[in-house]
């Protein structure tokens, strides 16, 4: 049975959340959905203005940062006055996000994908692919179960 709080956070059954996790919902309509049996490692930050959806049985190692928005950076005006650009983030079932990974706006991590430690994910990663590096790039495909 899922748990939902009044701030747009939905936790699936058996979700395990370690200590010092930050769920930063920066707009009144922001929503974070964690599926069943999700694990989130300590010191991870979810900075969401629109939507983050995480499938079932996803493993998120410590110190990860996931955001669905960026500040605009046009010349001629202060960054703080320019607003943000948003795009939802989705992580498919059975994905594994390694330690210290950064996932940026608009990214979709496919089902069964693996993101190596320290990667910065700027583009979507297909199902069952292993991606590493800065920026993250696919280095191989996993066999289906």
Question: Is-contact 41 22, C-beta < 8 A?
Answer: no
Active site residue 71: yes
Which member of 7, 71, 140, 142 is catalytic?
A: 71
Catalytic positions, please?
71
């Amino acid at each position: 049975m899922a748990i939902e709080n009044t701030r747009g956070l939905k936790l699936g059954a058996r979700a395990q959340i370690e200590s010092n996790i930050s769920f930063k919902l920066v707009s009144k309509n922001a929503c974070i959905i964690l599926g069943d049996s999700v694990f989130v490692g300590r010191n991870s930050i979810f900075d969401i203005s629109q939507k983050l959806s995480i499938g079932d049985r996803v493993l998120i190692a410590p110190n990860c940062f996931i955001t669905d928005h960026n500040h605009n950076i046009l010349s001629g005006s202060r960054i703080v006055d320019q607003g943000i650009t948003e795009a939802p983030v989705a992580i498919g079932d059975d994905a594994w996000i390694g330690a210290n990974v950064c996932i940026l706006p608009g990214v979709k991590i496919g089902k069964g994908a693996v993101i190596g430690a320290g990667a910065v994910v700027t583009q979507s990663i297909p199902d069952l692919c292993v991606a590493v590096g800065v920026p993250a790039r696919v280095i191989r495909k996993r066999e289906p179960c």
